Chain A
Amino acid sequence: MKPAAFDYVAPTSVEEAVAALSGAGGDAKVLAGGQSLVPLMNLRLAKPAVVVDINRVAGLDGVTVRSGFLSVGALVRHADLAAHPDVAGWPLLRDALELIGHPAIRNRGTVGGSIAHADPAAELPGVLRVLGGSVVAAGPNGSREIAADDLFLGYLTTALEAEEILTEVRFPALPAGAGSAFVEFARRHGDFALVGAAVVVALREGGQVGEARLCLIGVGPGPVAVDMGGLQGKPATEATWAAGGELAAAACDPDSDLHAPAEYRRQLASVMTARALALAAPRASEPRR
C-alpha cells in the first residue's frame, strides 16, 4: 500500500504554511502527527496533491497557563501534554489523554490534529466542548478564534477553511470546586471508544447538584453536548446519576455501524454518563460558608 504521489512542502512559519495551503487551490492537506492522515493516504482514501508538513513550523509547541485557560500549541504531542506539569490543573484533559490510542500513537499524534480531524469518537473534541473551549486558526486574512460549539460541523468536518491552519487549542479551567471525569467503553484497550462521556459537576452548599455538563463521543457525527439542567438541585446519589444517564440516552441519536448497533450505543451512553457523574461528583468540593 503506497500513498498516491504528492508534492511535499515543509514550511517553518505559520505564514508560509498558510501561503502553501492557499497556493494549492484547495487540494492540499496539513500533515501534523500523521496518525489519522497517513492511514487514509496509505489506503488512498485521501489523495491530496500537496502535503503541507507543519512539523517544522516554529511556535506551535507551547503549553502555557493563561488567565482562565490552558493554551496548547497545535503541534503539542499527546504524550508531551500528558507529561507536562501544568496539565495537573486540567484533570479532565489528563484523564482523556491517557485514553488516546497507544504510546507510539501518542508520541506522534498532536492536540491540534485530534481537534482538526474531528473523529466522532475522539476524546479531545469532547473535552474541548464540555469545557466550553475554543481554537485559534490562522488564515490568509490573519487569525480568528472559533468556539468549540461552532467548530464541529459534522463527521470529520470542522469550521476550519481549506487555507486555514489551527495554531492553538484553548482548554478553559473547571469552574471553582467542580469535579470532572472522562469514562469510555472500547472493545480493546487503546481503540477508539464505542461511546465515551466527559462530565463536569459542581455541587451546591448542602451537596446537591449545582451545574452539570455532559459531552458524549461516539454517538453522533461529532461531539454531542447534552443539556443536563434536569439534574440541578438533585441530591448527589446513584439515582441522580442514573437519571443523568437517561437524559444522555434520550438526547443522542446514534447510528448503527459495523462496530455497534444504535441501541447498544444508546445504552452505553446512559451507562458511561452515570459512571462519569458518579466519579466526578466526589471530586467536586462543596462551597464553604
Chain B
Amino acid sequence: MKRMTLHCRVNGEAVAREVEVRRTLADFVREDLGLTGTHLGCEHGACGACTLLVDGRSVRSCLMFAVQAEGCEVQTVEGLGTEESLHPLQQAFWDHHGLQCGFCTPGFLMAAAELLRRNPHPDEPAVREALSGNLCRCTGYQNIVAAVLAAAESMAAPRA
C-alpha cells in the first residue's frame, strides 16, 4: 500500500486523512494540516526542532511516518497555548529571553512540556538532560534552562 487513510487526534481534534505512506508525521502536520509551528531543521533526527508529543511522549516527528500515528493522540506546539493565553512555558520563554530567532523554540517547548508533566519539580541537571536532544544556534541555552525552571515554579504556585 502506498497511500492510506490515517485516523488520529491532533490537539484534541479528530482527523481522518488520506496520506502517502512515506509522508513523515512532521510533513503531515505542517503540509496537510497547516500546523507550521512544528519546524524542520535537519530531517534526520539530529536537531530536535520537529519534536512533538505522541500519546504524551516526545518524539522526533521527522523520524515517524504519519501512518504510524494511527489511533494516537498527537500534540503540537499549537496545542500548548494560544496567543491570548500562553502556556506557562511559553510565558517563561518570553520573560526569560529563552529565544532569539525562535526556530528551535517549538521543539524545546514540547520537550520541556513532557519533562514537566513527568517531573513537575526538576532540578537544573534534569532540565539539561531533558533538553539535551534539542539544538539552539542562538541562545546559548542558559536562558532556555532558566525559563523551564521558572515555568516549573509558576506552574507549582497556586493560581492568583
- Residue numbers of A with Cβ under 8 A of B are 1-10, 31, 34-35, 38-39, 42-43, 51, 53, 55, 79, 101-105, 107-108, 189-190
Give the docked Cα–Cα distance between A105 and B133 (Å): 8
Closest to A98 in B: B129
Residues of B with C-beta under 8 A to A8: 1-2, 4, 21, 65, 67
- Select A34's contact among B1, B43, B58, B63, beta carbons within 8 Å: B63
Give the docked Cα–Cα distance between A5 and B114 (Å): 33
Contact A103 B58 (CB under 8 A): yes
Known contacts A8-B4, A38-B45, A38-B63; decide if A103 and B129 are in contact (CB<8 Å).
yes
Residues of A with C-beta under 8 A to B65: 8, 31, 34, 38, 51, 53
CB B115 to nearest CB in A, in angstroms, measures 8
Judged by a CB distance under 8 angstroms, whether B48 is at the interface is: yes
Contact B44 A43 (CB under 8 A): yes
The 3 A-B pairs with the shortest beta carbon distances in the complex, nearest first, are: A102-B133, A8-B21, A39-B44
B24, B63, B64, B114: which has the most chain A beta carbons within 10 Å? B63
Residues of B with C-beta under 8 A to A9: 1
Contact A55 B68 (CB under 8 A): yes
Give the docked Cα–Cα distance between A34 and B133 (Å): 16
Residues of A with C-beta under 8 A to B21: 6-8, 51
Residues of B with C-beta under 8 A to A34: 63-65, 68
- Select B132's contact among A2, A31, A55, A189, beta carbons within 8 Å: A189
Judged by a CB distance under 8 angstroms, whether B87 is at the interface is: no
Residues of A with C-beta under 8 A to B48: 102, 104
Q: Could you give 24 example pairs across A and B, Cβ below 8 Å?
A: A4-B22, A7-B1, A8-B1, A8-B2, A8-B21, A8-B67, A10-B67, A31-B65, A34-B64, A38-B63, A38-B65, A39-B63, A42-B24, A43-B44, A101-B133, A102-B48, A103-B58, A103-B129, A103-B132, A104-B60, A104-B111, A104-B133, A105-B60, A190-B132
Residues of A with C-beta under 8 A to B114: 103
- Apart from A7-B1, A103-B133, what 15 extra A-B contacts exist at CB < 8 Å? A1-B43, A5-B2, A7-B2, A8-B4, A8-B21, A34-B63, A35-B63, A38-B44, A38-B65, A42-B43, A53-B65, A55-B68, A104-B51, A105-B45, A105-B133
Give B96-112 as 1s and 0s: 1 = Cβ < 8 Å from A's Cβ atoms. 00000000000000010
Judged by a CB distance under 8 angstroms, whether B57 is at the interface is: yes
Contact A38 B1 (CB under 8 A): no
Contact B133 A190 (CB under 8 A): yes
Give B52-64 as 1s and 0s: 1 = Cβ < 8 Å from A's Cβ atoms. 0000011110111
Closest to A1 in B: B43
Give the docked Cα–Cα distance between A279 and B36 (Å): 48
Give the docked Cα–Cα distance between A20 and B2 (Å): 15
Judged by a CB distance under 8 angstroms, whether B130 is at the interface is: yes
Give the docked Cα–Cα distance between A34 and B45 (Å): 10
Known contacts A3-B22, A4-B22; decide if A42 and B133 are in contact (CB<8 Å).
no
CB B122 to nearest CB in A, in angstroms, measures 12
